[in-house]
Structure 1
């Protein structure tokens, strides 16, 4: 039986700081994913449509209000109830909290692999506890994850270091980074990729570019190490306002395809 993976677009950036624009991302990531400029082959040898299904639920109609968290959680729960695995297109990173909350209700405490330039552990960024700079504080304080490993971090201030210590977060900073240092995590595994974890030379279309980041190849090497069952994933924080020749949309689409292939591959392992 083929693994079914379902895309959900979450076109919201109401919890972004500094710049908005990530709400425009989901349709553009889809356009790059299905574009005839490439094909649907994945690096593990699988092909979309042949070895696994990649269905699309379209974009959720969000209100740009706190009620959106409930709408997001309900949509994810519906995907899981259908027997599929949710693969979410952001939008800003705030949406990871309600997605993880919905998955926790089914699977219990998760293990999370988080790729980002920023740890997103602020207790209350700019008086907004739902900020895109705070989702992992909300996740960890609620006990939704038993383990959180963060890769690509290069903006760790004192407050976030304190938060990481408080919640036992495993931070793998960019200084002296090697993919081989990233742990092979146990399941159930959730993977969250903020595109600003990648160096802006390869992914310029983000709101908070931070030099000295991961290459796409390094991100793929990190994913390739993971053997656990993946019960959900997201690709977030693409901001088309700052993209160049669709470069970041193409990167996002590549990551969506490879995440889907990883979900299918690891599901087949049992």
Structure 2
């Protein structure tokens, strides 16, 4: 049995629910490569050395031969089991559909779970392309099941009428990118989960995503959000890295940097 100080990392290399192009299934592999690169060290900006911190990599899940529904159930079960061994867990996607079962598992462990969602897209479609498990719908599913207490979305810059109606229906708190100010205070009472879609960043900083949407956050702004948000961070995910579109690999390195800073907060 691990101690209560243990942090966890798990990969969810799944992109069958991507609506535009596949590729995010290779995200966990590329983020780990960037994280292990000897071009930098594993000290976070708040001074935590990941080499000295007790954390465990649980490897990647496998999904061969499973239907989309079975994948969702498999992820929820595995995350629930893993949460028994760690104080906080960071999941690597994969497309954003994996966040539905991951957050659902967290909500069963942490009563009154809040979610901070950083993204260009609200991912609130009630039904997108006849796929209830679409990466465009994870937060609709969570809200329908009343799995989370509060959802705050930042960086949004693609709010259309169907998703606006969904946000009103479920009381989603949304700060569109056009309304963002760096002095906005994000504060949560109780456990907090951070879901970070890399296309929440401007493509100048994170070009390696399937759904490029100009006008987003800088890397510095996202790091500051992670550092300054008020709440007890009990889990997080970093999703939608598409190595096929990633030069450098620039976006994988940005993702690894954000993983480091999320670990720093969770510790």
Same fold at TM > 0.5:
yes
How has the CA–CA distance of structure 1 residues 22 and 183 changed in structure 2, closer, same or farther, with 3 Å as cutoff?
Answer: same
CA contact (8 A) 2:4 2:86 kept: no
- Structure 2 residues not aligned, in runs of 5+: none
Counterpart secondary structure, 1:251? helix
1:21-61 CA-partner distances (Å, limit 9, x unpaired): 000111110010011011011001111022x2231111001
Matches of 2:179 and 2:134, distance apart in 1: 30
Residue 189 in structure 1 maps to residue 195 in structure 2:
no
> How many angstroms apart in 2 are the aligned matches of 1:120 and 1:93?
8
Tell me, in whole angstroms, the C-alpha distance in 1 between the residues paired with 2:78 and 2:182: 33
**1:124 alignment partner in structure 2:** 127
Structure 1 residues 213-228: aligned runs within 5 Å: 213-228=216-231
Partner residue of 1:4? 6
Match of residue 53 from structure 1: 54
- Displacement of 1:182: 4.1
- Which residue in the other structure is 1:267 paired with? none
Partner-residue secondary structure (3-state), 1:204: coil
The answer to whether the 8 Å contact 1:117/1:152 transfers is yes
- TM (normalized to structure 1)? 0.94
For 1:53-72, list aligned pairs within 5 A: 53-63=54-64, 65=67, 66-72=69-75
Instruction: Say if 1:149 and 1:170, in contact at 8 Å, map to a contact too.
Output: yes
CA positional deviation for 1:228: 1.7
| TM-score, with length taken from structure 2 | 0.95
| CA–CA separation in structure 2 for the residues paired with 1:119 and 1:151 | 9
Alpha-carbon offset, residue 9 of structure 1: 0.4
Identify the residue that residue 81 of structure 2 maps to in structure 1.
Answer: 78
Deviating 4+ runs (over 2 angstroms): none
Name the residue aligned to 2:31. 29
Paired residues, what number? 263
Gaps of 5+ in 1: 265-270
Of residues 94, 97, 118, the one that matches 1:115 is: 118
Q: Give the one of 155, 159, 162 matched to 1:159.
A: 162
**SS class of match (1:76):** helix
Q: Encode CA deviations 1:215-244: one digit per residue, 9 max, x unaligned.
A: 011111111222321111000000000001
Q: Report matched runs for 1:116-265 at 5 Å.
A: 116-264=119-267
